[in-house]
Amino acid sequence: MNPLLNCVHVTKSFGSFTALSDLSFQIYPGRIVGLLGPNGSGKSTFMKLASGLLTLDQGEITIHGHAVGIKTKKIVSYLPERTYLDEWTKVSALIDYFGDFYKDFNKNKAYEMLQCLCVSPKESLKTMSKGTKEKVQLILVMSRDAMLYLLDEP
């Protein structure tokens, strides 16, 4: 079986600070993997590299056999550690937006998860607690039919 994610000798620095140094590992399909480490150990940096938000200094990351890029953005669903959603937007509008933007977004799945977690699609993020906003973000990410889900501090 081929790895879903293959990370080979990855290095990433920011100025004189090296966030990742010669990192190598593989993740196989069907596996759930957690990255553990103290603050500043490179967990978020790796996820940003794997999702294509940052570029490598050295090494290679491939997802389903493709170098990180346009092809992998179609098969990776990424939840950043900080929200990027407009506070005034209603949940239903976010679902419509994600449905228009991502071909693999499953609106029915999103509405089912909202119902299971008792979140109203009519409510705007501005009126929600921090925990409920996090639920909405997680629902949006998990409603994609992606091959790889990268969740940064879910």
Q: Please tell me the CATH code under which domain 5-76 is placed.
A: 3.40.50.300
Q: pTM of the full predicted structure?
A: 0.89
pLDDT one-digit tens code per residue, 92-135:
999 999 999 999 999 999 999 999 999 999 999 999 999 999 99
- The domain locations on the chain are 5-76, 91-142
Q: 26: part of which helix (H) or strand (E)? A: strand 17-27
4, 147 in Cβ contact below 8 A? yes
pLDDT one-digit tens code per residue, 35-91:
999 998 999 999 999 999 999 999 999 999 999 999 999 999 999 988 888 889 999
Dist. CA 38–CA 15, nearest whole Å:
21
137, 83 in Cβ contact below 8 A? yes
